Amino acid sequence: MHRFRSVLCRGTLNCGSSSSNASAAQFLHNSRAWRCLPHPPAPAAVAAPCQFRLFFCRTLILQTVPNVVRIEKLSDSDSGIVDLKLERAEAKNAISKEMLRGLQNAIVEIDNDSSAKVVIVSSSIPRVFCAGADLKERRLMNTSEVEHFVNSLRSTFSSLEALSVPTIAVIEGAALGGGLEMALSCDLRICGEDAAFSMPETGLAIIPGAGGTQRLPRIVGRSLAKELIYTARRFGGREALSMGLVNYCVPTGEAYTKALQIARDINEKGPLAIKMAKKAIDEGMLQVDLASALSIEEECYVQLLHSQDRLEGLAAFAEKRKPKYAGK
């Protein structure tokens, strides 16, 4: 958002000097204190009697909207692990148009980052992962706008699912509707004991429209998925673990630590092998018959035969040392 504000101030008309430019820069970057620039010392004013005068200046203040989706790259021994954080505290990470754009941009950035090896999707907001779609914003949309938004959300989650590197969702607190659909788009899910899951859409006379009707039954089974979607009931972390929705349910507040431990384990392995393993599993599961799926596995394996990483793995094994993979 841009805002113009007019200011009556005392400044220099000699905008070519470095000192005046520095003063002006200091003034323009101070969006909180609307005050005049410091007056020049008396000798300077005498030396340049017409340099300073009262004038009317118009400044452009750029107000940046806080990022609701933030990417953080871990460093040192954790280099290669990327943290994608949801940070819309005032709406419990409800997915608005702005947040949707943030997710789309983040996914594209990660997809184009050759150094990314594992992605952790988490929330910076205590006791909530994502409360689903922003229904307050939804009420202001017409039918075509709603359709466009849901279609965009569905394709965004598909893009998250299609990332070539593993993704881990960290769920502390509520993961409802679109929030649960986002978590389902990740490869792995880790939750705290206080996690709360639900597909509440049928209670609003709609259905999960961002992949929920397809991904949930593929993970927990058709019959159980139907029950959860038909009834829109909430269930906790322990039940989510028992039905296979999450990989681990840990004490409240420890989900991120567990996810980071898994990410570190993945990060030590051959990055090309991890990508091919994900591709073989995901594409193979889409095949109706096992023979076709095994052909995909073969193709993925062949791509690794001539890699430097494969030779490095063999050498490290023979020399009894930790391999140093380059992703080549």
Buried b (16+ CB within 10 A) or exposed e, 88-114: beebbbbbbeebbebbbebbeebbeee
pLDDT at 30 over 80: no
Q: Mind listing the pLDDT tens digit for each residue in 252-302?
A: 999 999 999 999 999 999 999 999 999 999 999 888 799 999 999 999 999
| Least trusted range by pLDDT, from 53-67, 126-140, 274-288 | 53-67
Mutual angle of helices 222-231 and 212-220, in 10-degree steps: 130
Domains annotated for the chain, with CATH where assigned, are: 69-267 (3.90.226.10), 270-319 (1.10.12.10)
CB neighbour list of residue 7: distance below 8 Å, 6 or more residues apart: 34, 57, 58, 59
Annotated catalytic residues are 133, 178, 181, 201
**Residue 255, both tokens:** 């989900």
Q: First CA to last CA across the chain, in angstroms?
A: 44
Q: What are phi and psi of 64, to 5 degrees?
A: -85, 135
- Stated pTM of the model: 0.78
Q: Mind listing the pLDDT tens digit for each residue in 152-210?
A: 999 999 999 999 999 999 999 999 999 999 999 999 999 999 999 999 999 999 999 99
**How many of the other CB atoms lie within 10 Å of CB of 246?**
26
Confidence of residue 66 (pLDDT cuts 50, 70, 90): low
Cα 113 to Cα 164: distance, rounded to the nearest angstrom: 11
HEC-encoded secondary structure of 244-260: CCCCEEECCCCHHHHHH
